[in-house]
Amino acid sequence: MDYGPAPESTKEANAWLEQHGRRFGLFIDNAWTEPGETFASFNPADGSELAQVTQGTSADVDRAVEAARRAQPGWVAMGGHGRAKILYALARLLQKHSRLFAVVETLDNGKTIRETRDADIPLAARHFYHHAGWAQLQSEEFADYRAVGVVGQIVPWNFPLLMLAWKVAPALAAGNTIVFKPAEFTSLTALLFAEICQQAGVPAGVVNVVTGDGSVGEAIVNHAGIDKLAFTGSTEVGRIIRKATAGSGKKLSLELGGKSPFIVFADADLDAAVEGLVDSIWFNQGQVCCAGSRLLVQESVYDRFIAKVKARMQNLRVGSPLDKSNDVGALVDPVQQQRIHGLVESARAEGCEVWQPACEIPATGSWFPPTLITGASTTATVAQAEIFGPVLVAMSFRTPGEAVQLANNTVYGLATCVWTESISLALDMAPQIKAGVVWINTANQFDAACGFGGYKESGFGREGGKEGMYEYLTPLAEDARPPAPNAADKGKVKPATDGNPFAIDRTAKLYIGGKQARPDSGYSRAIAGANGAFLADVGEGNRKDIRNAVEAAHKASGWAKTTAHNRAQVLYYIAENLAARADEFAARIAAQTGAKNAEREVQASIERLFYWAAWADKYDGLAHQPPMHGITVALNEPVGVIGVICPNENPLLGFISLVAPALALGNRVIAVPSQTAPLSATDLYQVLDTSDLPGGALNIVTGSADELARTLATHFDVDAIWRHDGSAEGCAEVERLSAESLKRTWTGGGRGRDWFSAQQACGRAVLQHASQVKNVWIPYGV
């Protein structure tokens, strides 16, 4: 028995296209422009032209940004309830026109109608319903935040409408206005969505849709009127955007590529795992950033599992995306087909075995058969590169430890699937894998209540959940930050009055791996007091010192596994030992800065240590209840190794305010203290030695803030860098240089911060910079 044809009607979709004469303008300020210069949007299943879409220009982007800027105050003034009603209306209209959206998406993208009808459109509506709730609750749940302003959003072609919903819904809920750019290949459902915005009563200028190629995206990225950018796409373009926005002050979230492992243990339900694998790699023809494209199978069941996979591949139906009985549709464009073909042929040339089932491929359109590659080394191109197609690369492992090593052997960190009947093993694996999402005994589960986003070169920021709302909000305290303080010009350092050649050397060393260390350069720099008099020499750290500090930090990885209670105890000990030497530290602050009330800064530092110690075991995750038989646990994990450039003002309090929260959450820190007043940090060495802080958890390197920041920003084993010394140029440079490894940044720009203010230096906003959210999906009864 075989499946008969079950074609979906395109009558309504074609009628909608004909209604517009198959030519579309731009949607700006609640009005449609006349089509200008256009390009064709094709049906990838047969190559036929669907419509002509306008190629936007930089002038169009200017008009869209201006409209969004005009509309933003009124959109905020509408209040949470007013915005919630409109988001609710959008959700209802998506449901009302769900079949039309599904068919248009399938025609434009090539994915099967089953996927658009049963997954993409319902989940898009779910996001608007969910975020209508956040809009309603905004004044209560986000009382200390405001909307960012005008948001630029750029999405890819693999989930055109769903990516729109992921980005537009939270942005609108928070009170932002939007300039939205759909992918050049797949613009039609975004234009259909613009129509329902008019029906739902979205005010003019709140949502603007500008179609076109990469030049439109570039205009949005570089526009001075954009306050926040949200981008989903390739890692290469993500790097370009990070560099382009460096120093601009634009808030940025990037959801980029992936090379996700699909791990199968010997005790797994192998048949269920095969079905999960089908959903993971052949869903949407493998054109999914979190596709389980690396199959890792425990050695004892490898041959049996591969046999099952091949048998299942034989039954995959490849054909017209509009046929409801087909499993695999068309690739989005011939360019994508050619790229996938090239990667598969490179695997064949490297000696890998390439296996494909016998299936009839349509003669026209962009197609590629489901493909299994075995025999690839861990360094093979197909084992490392994001193929973005229906291609699976399989290899084996022996132990859970080896599975973790293979899973993490990638520059990406977006998602992972773990299949095992042992819940203990699954939950042991989940925190060890460097990925933003872990699915246990399931695959490709998504929900608006659960955050989605990656680690490493898969980007930063989250979409969905409460953490996704924060991406579109700014703490009110940021508006109250003072200008960057002027660095005190102490003039030339006056020589020490003691000319005794046998006087005690007062050169402060570096602090690396829990020990004082001489700088590699062999040089030191003189530190002057507020009156210009010589106080002491400090070591002149360089690249090798940063290298040593990074190595020490990685050796101290046990700090992240230490219980939160123990981390809190260590911070309390540091505060206790600092208090015992409060007068000494106050005198040092006064000597360096001329502060009249240095005792206040020491006391504030002690209190700040207590504050972050208190948070160490209280910054808990969340347990979500998505519409599945199970739960999703959102874990707040440490970022990893953080480089911190500390402020020049308040040299002790500024240092403590940045280092302590990072340590509290299990990060290891390489701190560059105040360049002009570093002695408050170097005096801490003995405090740290007597406070049970493990060696390598905190490393202190003195020297030039600019030079050391460059080294930290370009070091691929540093996971994040913070810079708060008031240097606008330095902060821009850190953001630009960090793009190569796509590390997270938190910079103060050319503004200062009141380090005594709890609003500006404390709270969840700081904790969010010191952590990253991992969502672990745990089904019941499977």
Catalytic positions, written as ranges: 255
**Residue among 616, 397, 648 nearest 527 (CA):** 648
Q: Rounded to a whole number, what is the distance in angstroms from the first to the last CA of the chain?
A: 30
Interacting residues of 165 by C-beta distance below 8 A, sequence separation 6+: 94, 123, 124, 125, 127, 128
Quote the DSSP letter at residue 465.
Answer: H
| Sign of the alpha-carbon dihedral angle for 106, 110, 112, 115 | negative
DSSP string, 41-80: EE-TTT--EEEEEE---HHHHHHHHHHHHHHHHHHHHTHH
CB-based contact 106:321 (threshold 8 Å): yes
CB-based contact 358:379 (threshold 8 Å): no
Angle, in degrees to the nearest 10, between helices 598-616 and 651-664: 10
CB-based contact 361:353 (threshold 8 Å): no
Strand, coil or helix: 233: coil
CA distances 595 to 91, 601, 677, 678, 751, Å, are 58, 9, 12, 15, 21
- How far apart are the C-alpha atoms of 614 and 535, rounded to whole Å? 35
DSSP string, 627-695: SSSEEEEEEEEE-SEEEEE--SSSHHHHHHHHHHHHHHTT-EEEEE--SS-THHHHTTHHHHHTTTPPT
* Residue 593: both structure tokens together: 């800065």
- How far apart are the C-alpha atoms of 351 and 375, rounded to whole Å? 8
- How far apart are the C-alpha atoms of 7 and 4, rounded to whole Å? 10
How many other CB atoms sit within 10 Å of the CB of residue 763? 16
- How far apart are the C-alpha atoms of 112 and 114, rounded to whole Å? 5
How many other CB atoms sit within 10 Å of the CB of residue 4? 7
Pairing of strands 371-374, 353-355: antiparallel
CA distances 129 to 22, 134, 199, 275, Å, are 31, 9, 17, 30
Interacting residues of 77 by C-beta distance below 8 A, sequence separation 6+: none
- How far apart are the C-alpha atoms of 291 and 747, rounded to whole Å? 33
- Residue that the structure tokens 């773990």 belong to: 418
Burial class (CB in 10 A: 0-12, 13-18, 19+), 303: exposed
Q: Give me the count of residues in the chain.
A: 782
- How far apart are the C-alpha atoms of 462 and 455, rounded to whole Å? 10
Residue 528: alpha-carbon gap to chain centroid: 42
CA distances 262 to 238, 440, 446, Å, are 25, 10, 17
- How far apart are the C-alpha atoms of 185 and 107, rounded to whole Å? 11
Quote the DSSP letter at residue 8.
Answer: P
Pairing of strands 150-154, 177-181: parallel
Residue type for position 196: I
Strand, coil or helix: 178: strand
